[in-house]
Chains A and B, each alone.
Chain A
Amino acid sequence: EDKVVQSPLSLVVHEGDTVTLNCSYEVTNFRSLLWYKQEKKAPTFLFMLTSSGIEKKSGRLSSILDKKELFSILNITATQTGDSAVYLCAVPTSGTYKYIFGTGTRLKVLA
């Protein structure tokens, strides 16, 4: 059965800290992994990763994929209170348009 597991479930840090969020997956015929940020409402897209070892970066956020060990990490450096959110990862399942989402990591950044 295809599955996506995120860890930790929740995290509390102080402003300026660096955090690493994990997403591991078991999916037949893996094609890509997507990261989203969800604040109070709709998830918003962060990154899509398809190739191992190639870092994607946007400001203080970066992400990398390891297709051999079947996981991805999302790093946030110099965290700010505005980074407080639930971070979701999703993987499309084999041969379909369906995506499996992890349960998310809830990040709280304290001032």
Chain B
Amino acid sequence: DVKVTQSSRYLVKRTGEKVFLECVQDMDHENMFWYRQDPGLGLRLIYFSYDVKMKEKGDIPEGYSVSREKKERFSLILESASTNQTSMYLCASSTPGTGGGSEQFFGPGTRLTVL
């Protein structure tokens, strides 16, 4: 059974803290993604990675960084958490597809609250 796991389901942090969100997939997928999901705004892409050590900015990268040292693991880092980063964070992985896009497999999400 394919699986994407995220390190925490719920997380509460204080403003200014450095926050690490971890994502691990066991499907040997090349592509990995970090999204945040907010009511009325849908899923918005923060960063994605198409190979180890490769990353590209998504639509809302400000205040975030990522790390992909191993193929199966993609980490999202909030350098200095702020209250406007309170959100649901979803990790996903996929194969490159055949040029037409491919199914993304999502993790269960991390609900982050920044106080």
Contact = CB atoms under 8 A, between A and B. Distances in A.
Contacts of A56: none
B39 to A, nearest CB: 9
Nearest to A103: B42
Contacts of B40: 103
A44 interface: yes
Contact of A42 (B44, B58, B59, B108): B108
A99 B108 contact: no
* Interface size classification for chain B: 20 to 34
Interface in B45-91: 45, 48, 50, 56, 58-59, 90
B45 A99 contact: yes
* Interface size classification for chain A: 20 to 34
Contacts of B58: 98
A34 interface: yes
Contacts of B100: 31-32, 48, 50, 92
Interface of B: 4, 31, 33, 35, 40-45, 48, 50, 56, 58-59, 90, 94, 96, 99-109
